[in-house]
């Protein structure tokens, strides 16, 4: 698979088959992704691969926290404090596209909550990935981390797997670190669902639009 093909094919997958992912595939993905670039070769990534009973327990704990009113909080500011302009419009359109595909009405609060709660189970994917970073590292290392995470998603496609990068899996860092035995000094960045796509699921049927090159690019000669 060519890189350009993988970039076009990759999408956020939100329904997975119950088929387990072979550990050898996960290792091959991480083996390739470790070659991602990082400033002064700092390689800031620290990855937790969670499967089986530990994945089920962790998902249950986070979903329960969400459903009982604990909104959680990431350990850094991922989104704007106030949404404005085109970013507000794109965010709204993204949500509407998913809910329209699933035929979830605006007034159906219970189905909206159930769909959002699925985030904390990693959409029942057989593998949860959690990405940690040392607190001494700064913004540049988060940029590096993005390239590492993108590399994982692209290589996963080559292995016949689907992914969903999830800020939501970073919203309960205390729960995750306690369950996995990570110290408080480690910062949870985000998580990712990994598994085999359920191609029959309606939630996997749509694609979010992208701006044309001319809309975000200026050439200077």
Q: What is the pLDDT of residues 78-132, one digit of tens each?
A: 999 999 999 999 999 999 999 999 999 989 999 999 999 999 999 999 999 999 9
The residue among 119, 134, 124, 125 whose CA lies nearest residue 188 is 134
- Is the pLDDT score of 1 beyond 90? no
User: From residue 134, how far is each of 43, 94, 139, 188 by CA, in Å?
Assistant: 11, 32, 12, 9
Q: Which domains does the chain have, with CATH numbers?
A: 3-76+119-206 (3.40.109.10)
The 8-class DSSP code of residue 194 comes to E
Sequence-distant (≥ 6) Cβ neighbours of residue 136 within 8 angstroms: none
According to the model, what pLDDT value does residue 150 have?
Answer: 98
User: From residue 46, how far is each of 122, 154, 187 by CA, in Å?
Assistant: 19, 19, 10
- Is the pLDDT score of 211 beyond 90? yes
Q: Give dist(CA 104, CA 110) in Å, integer.
A: 10
Sequence-distant (≥ 6) Cβ neighbours of residue 176 within 8 angstroms: 58, 62, 130, 169, 182, 188, 191
Residues 167-186: what's their mean pLDDT?
Answer: 97
Neighbours of 188 (CB within 10 A): 25
According to the model, what pLDDT value does residue 16 have?
Answer: 98
According to the model, what pLDDT value does residue 106 have?
Answer: 87
- Is the pLDDT score of 205 beyond 90? yes
Tens-place pLDDT, residues 135-160: 999 999 999 999 999 999 999 999 99
Tens-place pLDDT, residues 44-91: 999 999 999 999 999 999 999 999 999 999 999 999 999 999 999 999
Identify the band that residue 172 occupies on the pLDDT scale cut at 50, 70 and 90: very high
Q: Which has the higher per-residue pLDDT, 106 or 216?
A: 216
Tens-place pLDDT, residues 17-35: 999 999 999 999 999 999 9
Residues 189-201: what's their mean pLDDT?
Answer: 98
Count the residues in the chain. Answer: 221
Residue 179 burial (C-beta neighbours within 10 Å; 0-12, 13-18, 19+): middle
Neighbours of 135 (CB within 10 A): 11
- Is the pLDDT score of 191 beyond 90? yes
């Amino acid at each position: 698979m060519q890189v350009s093909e993988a970039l076009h094919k990759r999408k956020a997958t939100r329904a997975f088959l119950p088929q387990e992912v072979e550990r050898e595939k996960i290792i091959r993905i991480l083996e390739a992704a470790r070659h991602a670039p990082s400033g002064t070769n700092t390689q800031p990534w620290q990855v937790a691969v969670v499967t089986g009973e530990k994945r089920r327990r962790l998902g249950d704990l986070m979903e329960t926290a969400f459903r009982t009113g604990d909104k959680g909080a990431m350990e850094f500011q991922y989104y704007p404090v106030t949404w404005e302009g085109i970013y507000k419009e794109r965010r709204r359109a993204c949500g509407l596209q998913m809910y329209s595909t699933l035929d979830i009405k605006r007034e159906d609060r219970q189905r909206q909550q159930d769909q959002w709660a699925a985030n904390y189970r990693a959409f029942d994917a057989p593998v949860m990935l959690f990405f940690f970073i040392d607190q001494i590292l700064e913004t540049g290392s988060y940029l590096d981390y993005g390239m590492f995470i993108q590399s994982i998603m692209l290589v996963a496609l080559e292995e016949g797997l689907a992914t969903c990068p999830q800020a939501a899996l970073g919203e309960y860092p205390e729960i995750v670190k306690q369950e996995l035995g990570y110290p408080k000094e480690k910062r949870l960045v985000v998580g990712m669902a990994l598994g085999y796509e359920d191609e029959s699921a309606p939630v996997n049927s749509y694609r979010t639009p992208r701006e044309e090159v001319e809309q975000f690019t200026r050439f200077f000669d």
